[in-house]
Each structure stands twice: as C-alpha cells, then as structure tokens.
Amino acid sequence: MRDDSFVFEKHKIFLYKEDFGKFLEALQHTVEHVKNDLMPDFDFSQFDNQESESEYDDELKWE
C-alpha cells in the first residue's frame, strides 16, 4: 500500500435504547467541538438544509 492512499475503516456502534439520549448529546458536543475549535474558519452553512429534513418528517416517526 502506498503512503498517500486513504483507507476507510468501518465500525459499528451498538446502543441500548436507554443510552440513546446520552449518545446524541455526546455526538452533538463532538460535532460542535470540531466545528468551533478544530475548524473555525470553515463555512458549514453550505450543509444547513432545513427544507430537506422536513420533507421526511411525515415518513419518519419514533414510536
């Protein structure tokens, strides 16, 4: 393998229902850290697409 090649390694995360809220909170904290502390000069607004989320709201329901 060459030194300049990129390797993607997949991992699975197994979560219990009762831990899902804590996982979401930690994930959000991690994303905010990357955006604000590690990549403060990058414009993330290009990924803000509220309209595409709402089109699936009728189909995706948590029960």
| pLDDT at position 59 | 67
**Nearest 10 degrees: Cα torsion 37, 32, 50, 44:** 20
Rounded to an integer, what is the distance from CA 3 to the centroid of its chain? 28
Confidence check: pLDDT of 4 > 80: no
Number of separate helices (H) and strands (E) present in the chain: 2, 0
Residue 55 in domain: no
Confidence check: pLDDT of 1 > 60: no
Read off the tokens for 12. Answer: 């699975």
For the chain, the domain total comes to 1
For the segment 8-61, what is each residue's pLDDT rounded down to a tens digit? 889 998 999 999 999 999 999 999 999 999 999 999 888 876 655 555 666 666
Domain of residue 26: give its range: 12-36
Residue 62 in domain: no
**What is the pTM for the complete model shown?**
0.55
